[in-house]
């Protein structure tokens, strides 16, 4: 195929010459972190771009998840998904919370609200859904459940930057939404994350918690953590934000091209577009079904031999890792849809400047999986 391997994602890097003035300003200011000018500018710019009122920047999405749970004083049990990156459930353990895994919907691979309601016990205090691949959960159904049982909702929105529903930003749903700005994400600051907050009071508490719990030089109110984003990362974010509309438009074209070349391949299922959703095209997952000539893992290896490097997001399930599989809710019989998806899923390369020729070559390799 190609001498250069094609990976599942490639971070967008703006021209270096455009970043140099930001670096010069950081050097001149001598402010490197602790809520400096670029940090404040990026928070304001993200609120405007995302259509939210308050946002608190973090050093990464995992620390943001940990802090979001702490800020809401979540305890006991939290109902969550096994079909995610392990940071989702790790954030619960860091807070001494017991994860309760429930199954996902076959069409969206997001938490199944009916399964969520059935898993609630007197120890349940919250729900932590994931907008998997940036595709919205059934936010209305989940909110009705939360209201009925007096539960909090913390959305792991790591994939959902810029996603909109007909009613507005997806990130305004639930009590808090947590973003990741890791290098693999649609919008990245190399490393970074954020919590979308509903009001100024909540943001203030979160800002205290991400700075060791300090209110001022002499007062500490909570066992916070060092979760602050540096000026370097914030400056990169300000520059990246200028390219977002174009990057998402290019991703939309890549998504459409994949759907075109894969449309008539028996045994390959693409997830359907969701009506009324303005997506960000963060990932392009396919499901390798039983009527495809070879299994998912054989196709995965075939693509790798041709220097195409997809990822099996998410395999194995979180619930199958040794540290989680002893939980009663982790048993495969409890998670048939998620288990099947984890055995079938393959995320194909997806980034703004992915060439059409590469997309077509991937399509040819998938269409003829047997040498």
DSSP 21-87: HHHHHHHHHT--SSS-HHHHHHHHHHHHHHT-SEEEEES-HHHHHHHHHHHTT--SEEEE-SSS-TH
Phi, then psi, of 229 in degrees rounded to 5: -80, 140
Q: What is the pLDDT of residue 12?
A: 79
CA neighbor of 57 nearest in space, from 236, 230, 232: 230
Q: State how far the Cα of 321 lies from the Cα of 327, in Å rounded to an integer.
A: 11
Q: What is the pLDDT of residues 35-92, one digit of tens each?
A: 999 999 999 999 999 999 999 999 999 999 999 999 999 999 999 999 999 999 999 9
Q: State how far the Cα of 87 lies from the Cα of 166, in Å rounded to an integer.
A: 29
CB distance 310 to 367 below 8 Å: no
DSSP single-letter state for residue 315: -
Give yes or no for residue 254 having a pLDDT over 50: yes
Q: State how far the Cα of 224 lies from the Cα of 202, in Å rounded to an integer.
A: 15
Q: What is the pLDDT of residues 274-332, one digit of tens each?
A: 999 999 999 999 999 999 999 999 999 999 999 999 999 999 999 999 999 999 999 99
Q: State how far the Cα of 283 lies from the Cα of 130, in Å rounded to an integer.
A: 14
Give yes or no for residue 157 having a pLDDT over 90: yes
Q: What is the pLDDT of residue 2?
A: 52
- Position of tokens 């500018």? 41
Residue 152 pLDDT level (bands cut at 50, 70, 90): very high
- pTM for the whole structure: 0.97
Q: What is the pLDDT of residue 1?
A: 46
Rounded to a whole number of angstroms, the distance between the first and last alpha carbons of the chain is 14
Q: What is the pLDDT of residues 197-243, one digit of tens each?
A: 999 999 999 999 999 999 999 999 999 999 999 999 999 999 999 99
């Amino acid at each position: 195929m190609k001498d250069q391997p094609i990976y599942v994602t490639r971070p967008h890097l703006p021209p270096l010459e455009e970043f140099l003035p930001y670096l010069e300003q950081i050097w001149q200011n001598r402010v490197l972190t602790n809520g400096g000018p670029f940090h404040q500018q990026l928070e304001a710019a993200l609120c405007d771009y995302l259509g939210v009122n308050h946002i608190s920047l973090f050093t990464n999405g995992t620390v943001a998840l940990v802090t979001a749970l702490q800020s809401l004083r979540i305890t006991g049990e939290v109902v969550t998904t096994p079909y995610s990156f392990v940071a989702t459930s790790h954030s619960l353990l860091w807070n001494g919370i017991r994860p309760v895994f429930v199954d996902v919907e076959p069409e969206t691979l997001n938490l199944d609200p009916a399964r969520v309601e059935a898993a609630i016990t007197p120890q349940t205090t919250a729900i932590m859904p994931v907008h998997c691949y940036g595709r919205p959960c059934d936010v209305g159904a989940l909110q009705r459940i939360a209201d009925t049982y007096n539960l909090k909702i913390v959305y792991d929105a790591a994939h959902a930057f810029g996603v909109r529903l007909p009613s507005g930003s997806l990130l305004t749903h639930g009590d808090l939404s947590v973003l990741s700005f890791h290098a693999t994400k649609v919008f990245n600051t190399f490393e970074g994350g954020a919590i979308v907050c509903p009001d100024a009071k909540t943001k203030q508490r979160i800002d205290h918690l991400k700075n060791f719990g300090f209110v001022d030089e002499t007062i500490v109110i909570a066992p916070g953590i060092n979760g602050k984003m540096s000026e370097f990362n914030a400056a990169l974010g300000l520059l990246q934000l200028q390219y977002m509309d174009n990057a998402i438009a290019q991703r939309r074209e890549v998504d459409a091209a994949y759907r075109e070349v894969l449309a008539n391949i028996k045994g390959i299922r693409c997830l359907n577009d969701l009506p009324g959703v303005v997506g960000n095209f963060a990932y392009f997952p396919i499901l390798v079904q039983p009527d495809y000539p070879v299994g998912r893992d054989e196709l995965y290896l075939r693509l790798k031999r041709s220097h195409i490097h997809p990822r099996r997001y998410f395999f194995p399930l979180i619930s199958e890792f040794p540290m989680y599989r002893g939980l009663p809710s982790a048993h495969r019989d409890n998670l048939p849809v998620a288990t099947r998806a984890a055995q079938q899923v393959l995320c194909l390369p997806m980034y703004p400047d992915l060439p059409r020729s590469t997309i077509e070559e991937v399509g040819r390799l998938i269409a003829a999986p047997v040498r």
